[in-house]
Amino acid sequence: MMSSSRVLISHPLCPPHPQNLCRPFHPHPEWKKTPNTLSLRPKEPIFPHYRNPESLNLEPMKDEHKQVLTRTYSKKISSSPTTRLSYTQSLNRLINSDRLAEAMDLYVEIRNKGLEAGIILESVLIDALMKSGRVTDAFQVFESMPERNVITWTSMLSGCVRNDRQAIAFSLFVEMLEAGVLPNDFTFNAMLQACADRGALGLGEQVHSLAVRAGLADDRWIGNCLIEFYSRCGLMAKATKVFDRMLDLDLVSFTSLISGFSRNNQFESAVSAFDQMVRLGLEPNEHTITSILTACGPLLGEQIHAYMIKTMIAQSVYSGSALIDFYSRNFEFRRAREVFEKLEAKNMVTWSSMISCCLRNDQVEEAMRMFYDMVCAGFKPNEFTFAVTFGACGLWSESIAFGRQLHCSTIKLNLVSDTRVFNALLTMYARSGEVEELEKLFERIEDPDIVSWCAAISGYFQNGFDERSTRLLCQMHRKGYIPNEHGFSSALSSCANLALLDQGRQFHCLALKLGCDLLVCTGNALVNMYSKCGCIDDARLAFDVMHTHDVISWNSLIHGYAHHGHGKKVIKVFDEMVESSCCIPDHSTFVGILAGCSHVGNVDEAVRYFKIMRDHYGIVPSASHYACIVDMMGRAGRLGEALHIIDQMPFEVDVLVWKTLLASCKLHKNLELGSFAADKVMELSPRDSASYVLLSNLHAQHGEWEDAERVRGMMEERGVKKDAGWSWIETKCEVHAFVARDNSHLEAESIYQILEELFEVMKDEGYSPSASFSDL
């Protein structure tokens, strides 16, 4: 059995232990031999060629270094101790002064003379090379060492983790154990960090078991690393259990737990842990403050801000950025701006946080100005800053030219290949209506991720290219990518616009298989799709199976019932919405209610809800609300009241309201008021063909054929053309579209033959068409 010995915890890997530089190592009684590594070693090598540094595709190494370091020495050249000491002192000075290129040259010279630098100095050199990103050189030194101890191995492990080579670290750790080298606390910390980075839960739990066997279960530092590991794997119950078993909690322990709760959206637990920490007399540092600010509400956040001002933590760039993000999330743009301006030092994170804050609070022009000020201040934008700024360019139509300039800048800085930048560019061009640019950009992506696909799908939908949107989702699925809820939402909305019920059902089945159908975003699109395709019962079913509903969910169902003429069900759903207390009705909610009342002619009920909207919920009536009231009055034949409502509107009447009144006048054959409304529509929108069509038909209803012809002539003189009406039908997953007098269909002859037969049946039933209602 191993005896207790004193282990010096001091090497270049990490800073000294906070308690002592030298403390006893008491292994567990079962820690008798090297652990069995069969369970740790993967079935296939994680990184099969890590022994060949050239396969890492890192920085090139000098040829003479390769020749010397890979040479096998059969014997050592005798040299005086003075010479060896002189070399090692020179090598040590070069390492300490960070002159690593010269240090490597000297190390090669030492080895070329048959001398050895010593295991301690070689471990120091490996650590320095890893910290500077010279992974290839570090591997070459490591391979040339005749002997290695735990510090050497740990320097390699931590260096691989630091340089994002976690897979290589896993293989090295297994080889270390098989070589009979027992890990220390620094080794375990490095491995837990690697497991956390890769989400390697199984391997991390085995490392935890090894740490227990090594007698390090009560080590505070390892305990903190375990809390971080389990929280990043989403297992807060295990992280809490580790925390509760720790005998000596410090600020890092609480900060790790608070950060874990915040990361996993357990905000109440995060605040509770913060309260426990304060009661124990531990003062939070900037990292603790940053973690708790992501979890706390407005009141606690303001109190923490006051504490930060008292302790000067507010001047920390790290905590200042978190404070900006806190006020941004709570839509306190003015306070976020004050925090930013009072920061004595700023970096890329603070600038990017402020630009993001501007976007979140609809300050698009201010976001563009912030980016300009940042560049003028001498800061070089990174990929995150570009991604945020591209989002601003997409939200402001006048900034697309500036967005193109930024696109060129990313190409010059070699950032355009970054996935976040690419996806932000796709979104910018989609929001700006630049569909051709979106297509070109998407085709150039060598390996698009799920966000790239869904951004393109949403871009097509937003710009009215519904067929391309549905087609791209099918292509995405065929290539093995799994759509997310945003991709499904856009594709389902495109199906709703095209009334593609069969295609929509297929997307619904795919979302069901992937578990996306119950998410709010997808569920809302399903309710909208089924209601627009005429399946209102299926829309209700899609609504009922959703676990949570937002205001869009309720509005989609209310509008669906309204469009199907179910006025009573509209009121019933609204009452359910109010009783649920989960959502507050908004502008769109009452548009749906007023439309539902209008379609069933329930005037008194509509007027009552109009007053509730204004007096109880404080919603200022918009043109859409007034248009619903005018439409309802017009359908009921109360045209005089409709005109009175228009005269009482508190803002300038738009073309939608006058078109609504004109349609009602045509319905009730009121030529005088219809002519007045038509003049208003033509004045506001002279290129709108609907007003000419409605007025011409209104004259035709009264037998005024000359006036009807005059309106037609006026339409031709002004170059106004009515878009041809078209209809479509979906059969066997294929859409067939038709326009008037269309002969382009392959089965046109058969279709017209069936139409003639239908006309004959209609005549036999006594139907006679009325030419007075024909459109132009």
Question: For the segment 161-208, what is each residue's pLDDT rounded down to a tens digit?
Answer: 888 888 888 888 988 888 888 888 888 889 998 998 888 888 889 899
Place of tokens 């001498």: 378
CB 59 within 8 A of CB 100: no
Task: Please give the Cα distance from 734 to 471 (Å, whole number).
Answer: 12
| 727: three-class secondary structure by DSSP | strand
Task: Please give the Cα distance from 638 to 632 (Å, whole number).
Answer: 9
CB 586 within 8 A of CB 621: no
Q: Is pLDDT of 769 > 80?
A: no
pLDDT band at 43 (very low <50, low <70, confident <90, very high): very low
Based on its alpha-carbon atoms, the radius of gyration of the chain, rounded to whole angstroms, reads: 36
Amino acid at 22: C
Q: What are the pLDDT digits (tens) for 371-410?
A: 888 988 888 888 888 888 888 887 776 778 888 888 998 8
Cα 475 from chain centre: 22
Q: Which of 213, 270, 215 is nearest to 239 (CA)?
A: 270
Return all residues near 690 (Cβ < 8 A) that are at least 6 apart.
659, 681
Amino acid at 100: L
If one compares 383 and 725, the residue with the highest pLDDT of the two is 383
Return all residues near 146 (Cβ < 8 A) that are at least 6 apart.
116
Amino acid at 450: I
Neighbouring C-beta atoms of residue 32, cutoff 10 Å: 11
Q: Is pLDDT of 557 > 90?
A: yes
Q: What share of the chain is helix, strand, coil (3-state, %, to 5)?
A: 65, 5, 30
Q: Which of 123, 117, 115 is nearest to 89 (CA)?
A: 117
Question: Which tokens belong to 602?
Answer: 């329930």
Q: What are the pLDDT digits (tens) for 100-142?
A: 777 777 777 766 666 666 778 777 888 788 887 888 888 888 8
pLDDT band at 607 (very low <50, low <70, confident <90, very high): confident
CB 738 within 8 A of CB 755: no
The reported pLDDT for the residue numbered 509 is: 95
Place of tokens 């690419």: 422
In the chain, how long is the greatest CA-to-CA distance?
123
Question: Which tokens belong to 259?
Answer: 């950060």
**Burial (Cβ within 10 Å: 0-12, 13-18, ≥19) of residue 479:** exposed
The pLDDT > 90 percentage for the chain reads: 20
User: What does the DSSP 8-state code read for residue 16?
Assistant: P
CB 550 within 8 A of CB 588: no
Question: Which tokens belong to 267?
Answer: 């905000």
Task: Please give the Cα distance from 5 to 568 (Å, whole number).
Answer: 83
Q: Which of 63, 371, 381, 39 is nearest to 205 (CA)?
A: 39
Q: Which of 222, 157, 147 is nearest to 194 (CA)?
A: 157
Phi, psi (deg, nearest 5) at residue 26: -110, 95
CATH 1.25.40.10 fits 34-217, yes or no: yes
Q: Which of 462, 460, 458, 457 is nearest to 476 (CA)?
A: 457
Residues of the chain with CATH 1.25.40.10: 34-217
Enter the pTM of the model. 0.67
Which residues are 5's β-sheet partners?
25
Task: Please give the Cα distance from 388 to 374 (Å, whole number).
Answer: 13
Task: Please give the Cα distance from 290 to 293 (Å, whole number).
Answer: 5
Cα 727 from chain centre: 38
Q: Which of 631, 573, 644, 621 is nearest to 600 (CA)?
A: 631
Determine which helix (DSSP H) or strand (DSSP E) holds 163, and give its type and residue range: none
Task: Please give the Cα distance from 419 to 387 (Å, whole number).
Answer: 10
The reported pLDDT for the residue numbered 115 is: 64
Task: Please give the Cα distance from 445 to 428 (Å, whole number).
Answer: 16
CB 320 within 8 A of CB 304: no
Phi, psi (deg, nearest 5) at residue 379: -90, 140
Task: Please give the Cα distance from 591 to 572 (Å, whole number).
Answer: 15
**Burial (Cβ within 10 Å: 0-12, 13-18, ≥19) of residue 599:** buried
Q: What are the pLDDT digits (tens) for 186-198?
A: 888 899 989 988 8
Rank 265-274, 531-540, 641-650, 758-767 by mean pLDDT and report only the highest. Answer: 531-540
Q: What are the pLDDT digits (tens) for 48-84?
A: 334 443 333 434 444 444 444 444 333 344 445 555 5
The reported pLDDT for the residue numbered 49 is: 38
Return all residues near 92 (Cβ < 8 A) that are at least 6 apart.
121, 124
The reported pLDDT for the residue numbered 77 is: 40
**How far separated are the first and last CA of the chain, in Å rounded?**
101
Orientation of helix 317-329 relative to helix 286-293, angle to 10°: 10
Task: Please give the Cα distance from 280 to 248 (Å, whole number).
Answer: 12
Mean pLDDT, the chain, integer = 80
Q: Which of 293, 294, 297, 329 is nearest to 314 (CA)?
A: 293
Give the angle subtended at the CA of 293 by the CAs of 290 and 297, to the nearest 5°: 175
| 734: three-class secondary structure by DSSP | strand
Question: Which tokens belong to 556?
Answer: 């989609």
The reported pLDDT for the residue numbered 82 is: 54
If one compares 365 and 774, the residue with the highest pLDDT of the two is 365
Task: Please give the Cα distance from 50 to 65 (Å, whole number).
Answer: 18
Q: Which of 360, 411, 365, 366 is nearest to 386 (CA)?
A: 411
| 140-169 mean pLDDT | 86
Neighbouring C-beta atoms of residue 588, cutoff 10 Å: 16
Distances (CA, A) of 167 to 151, 447, 511, 605, 673: 20, 22, 33, 67, 79
User: What does the DSSP 8-state code read for residue 737?
Assistant: E
The reported pLDDT for the residue numbered 471 is: 93
CB 550 within 8 A of CB 520: yes
Return all residues near 119 (Cβ < 8 A) that are at least 6 apart.
145, 147, 148, 149, 152
CB 4 within 8 A of CB 24: yes
| 470-482 mean pLDDT | 92
Task: Please give the Cα distance from 124 to 115 (Å, whole number).
Answer: 17
